[in-house]
Amino acid sequence: MLTHYLQTANELLSDLIETTQYDIEDIKQAKHESVFSRTKTKDELVKSFENHKSLIDNEISKMVKEAENPSLDTLLNEEQRSLLDAMRANLQTLQSTNKRFASMVIAVSGFYTSLINRLIPTEQVGYETHRAKSASYLHIKG
């Protein structure tokens, strides 16, 4: 079962990496709706990965309790060690991909915030931001 859980966890991580790379490409092209539409899918992938990671932890814990020599090198076969190494590598790739995506999100957010602040003047009073009284010239028609 451990091998199956490791394989599935790696597939889920690969899907998360691929989805985040799609998000990066879409945010570059200002296709924000596409990015938003994948949020639920990414959430489901993360939950599924967390579930499989828990199953992996439980399987390894069982193996450690049953073993005379509880070293991972002796508990896991070659395929399982390889899958565990692949999972570590996938997690590192996911982390760097998420950092790249996050920096783009912050840049886009800053752009839209500055644009809104130019359209609707604000005043900073202490820690609170208020619309400036001169902003009354701006009306939105529905």
Torsion angle of the four alpha carbons 6, 11, 14, 18, in this order, in degrees rounded to the nearest 10: -160
pLDDT value of residue 119: 81
Strands 122-125 and 128-131: antiparallel
Residue 115 pLDDT? 83
d(CA 106, CA 55): 35
First to last CA, the chain: 58
pTM of the model: 0.78
| pLDDT bucket at 117, cuts 50 / 70 / 90 | confident
Residue type, 46: V
Contacts of 1 (CB under 8 A, 6+ apart): 55, 59
Which residues touch 119 (CB under 8 Å, ≥6 apart)?
138
Neighbours of 73 (CB within 10 A): 7
**CA 41 to CA 48: how far, in whole Å?**
11
Residue 130's pLDDT band (cuts 50, 70, 90): low
